[in-house]
Amino acid sequence: MRVGLLVGVMILLLSGCDKYRASRWEGAYLCTVHLTAWNMTGYSIDSSYVDTVEIYAQNRSIVIFGNEVPVDSLRNEQLYSEGYGHDYFQVQFKGDSIYYLISSGGLGGNGSYEYRGIKNK
């Protein structure tokens, strides 16, 4: 009986911790964005600009640009990656900073956006 009660309390504490972490990352981040793109005709672009990124907490995940990322995958400043080949995204939080990379392409070319920013207070 005691063991079952102890396990139940631990599960509640751990799931509450995940929700806290998700809400901690929620908010607006002011980012420098680096855009690079090229195709096989020789066209290329290399540009930087500033943009605001909105992060939302949803259950035990955060949502960034429509991509849902499990909170457990971001613990201890881990880099989360999803996708394969030229079509993937990565996200990482360190303190109040964010790193987000999205890349898409194939045989004819590739494009990527790299966001580095800090949370608006």
Please state, in angstroms and as integers, the Cα–Cα distance from residue 115 to each residue in 6, 27, 31, 47, 77, following that order.
Answer: 42, 15, 6, 12, 16
Element spanning 20, H or E: helix 2-25
pLDDT tens figures, 16-66 = 454 557 888 999 999 999 999 999 998 999 999 999 999 999 988 999 999
Residue 8 has pLDDT above 70, yes or no: no
What tokens were used for 109?
């070319």
Domain ranges of the chain: 2-119
Distance CA 101, CA 33 (A): 9
More confident residue, 29 or 75: 29
Distance CA 4, CA 7 (A): 5
Q: What is the pTM of this model?
A: 0.79
Closest CA to 35 of 101, 116, 112: 112
